[in-house]
């Protein structure tokens, strides 16, 4: 099996099976593509991580740029991550995760909870965007070093105001659902939202370890949920594999000590 190809070894699927999904995301960083990977990995379905396929085999950054340029039939994606499934071309992280969750048994079956899951996914996407903007508050096209002063101000507001508000909301959502018999964010079983919260909490701990440590006593349910999600067999196998990309200072969640004093 070629590097970067998840043709999969999960759920009884072998590399002889043709990949059903193609994920387009920049190689070398977990970024927003990792949220999609977690759903695919936990579901145990085959997929190809196009950005990690060698260019000589039709993958890598050139393949992503070709998709963005419209060289493939279907809608024109705005930015990665994008997912190609047969004739479908999907983009926007929350949309992809929700669509996959509904398709792969990682979403509530009833309309009300299913739509609540989508709303939670979008709320988590807002949190991810705000975490990113702590180190790039002016423009993503500028280096962090070009906006350090503004980043320090933005990060302070994030640590003191926005991060506690988001985490408190998620903790209260868990408590409310637990009272109805569920130990997850929505419904009775793990969904794409719980997988996304797993990655978000991990990223926040990487970027803001001190701020998260101060908030830990206030979110016991959220921390316990993250441990349970990470222990799911397929996900645990993925997390221990070389396919799992570590958080780094080129992605969304970046650790700059001066932003977490």
pLDDT in tens, 199-228: 999 999 999 999 999 999 999 999 999 999
User: What's the rounded Cα separation, in Å, for the pair 170 and 53?
Assistant: 36
Helix (H) or strand (E) holding 5: strand 5-6
pLDDT over 50 at 6, yes or no: no
Query: In the chain, which residues fall in CATH 1.20.1050.10?
Result: 111-232
Rg (CA), the chain: 18
Cβ neighbour number for residue 136 with a 10 Å cutoff? 19
Query: In the chain, which residues fall in CATH 3.40.30.10?
Result: 5-104
Q: Which CATH architecture group holds 5-104?
A: 3-Layer(aba) Sandwich (3.40)
Task: Report the pLDDT value the prediction gives residue 19, as an integer from 0 to 100.
Answer: 52
| Reported confidence tier of residue 17, pLDDT bands at 50, 70, 90 | very low
Please state, in angstroms and as integers, the Cα–Cα distance from residue 66 to each residue in 81, 85, 90, 107, 129, following that order.
Answer: 14, 17, 15, 32, 26
Task: Report the pLDDT value the prediction gives residue 242, as an integer from 0 to 100.
Answer: 94
Q: pLDDT tens for residues 66-114?
A: 999 999 888 999 999 999 998 899 999 999 999 999 999 999 999 999 9
Q: Are 41 and 10 in contact (CB under 8 A)?
A: yes
Q: Which of 161, 95, 166, 79 is nearest to 128 (CA)?
A: 166
Query: Selecting from 1.20.1440.120, 1.10.340.30, 1.20.1050.10, 2.60.40.650, what CATH number does the domain 111-232 have?
Result: 1.20.1050.10
Of all residues in the chain, the percent with pLDDT exceeding 90 is: 88
Q: pLDDT tens for residues 26-54?
A: 999 999 999 999 999 999 999 999 999 99
Q: Which of 20, 23, 16 is nearest to 1 (CA)?
A: 16
């Amino acid at each position: 099996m070629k590097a970067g190809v998840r043709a999969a070894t999960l759920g009884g699927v072998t590399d002889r099976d043709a990949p059903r999904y193609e994920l387009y995301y920049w190689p070398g960083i977990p970024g927003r593509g990792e949220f999609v990977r977690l759903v695919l990995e936990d579901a145990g379905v085959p997929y190809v991580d196009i950005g990690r396929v060698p260019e000589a085999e039709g993958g890598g950054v050139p393949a992503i740029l070709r998709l963005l340029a419209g060289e493939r039939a279907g809608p024109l994606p705005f930015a990665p991550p994008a997912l190609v499934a047969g004739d479908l071309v999907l983009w926007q992280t929350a949309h992809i995760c929700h669509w996959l969750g509904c398709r792969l048994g990682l979403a509530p079956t009833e309309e009300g909870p299913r739509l609540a899951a989508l709303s939670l996914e979008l709320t988590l996407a807002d949190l991810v965007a705000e975490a990113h903007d702590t180190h790039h508050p002016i423009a993503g096209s500028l280096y962090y070093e070009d906006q350090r002063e503004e980043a320090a101000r933005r990060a302070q507001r994030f640590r003191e105001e926005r991060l506690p508000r988001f985490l408190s909301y998620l903790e209260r959502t868990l408590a409310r659902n637990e009272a109805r018999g569920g130990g997850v964010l929505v419904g009775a079983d793990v969904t794409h939202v719980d997988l996304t919260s797993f990655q978000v909490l991990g990223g926040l701990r990487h970027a803001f370890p001190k701020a998260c440590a101060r908030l830990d006593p206030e979110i016991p349910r959220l921390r316990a949920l993250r441990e349970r999600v990470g222990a799911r067999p397929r996900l645990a196998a993925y997390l221990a594999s070389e396919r799992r990309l570590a958080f780094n200072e080129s992605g969304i969640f970046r650790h700059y000590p001066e932003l977490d004093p």
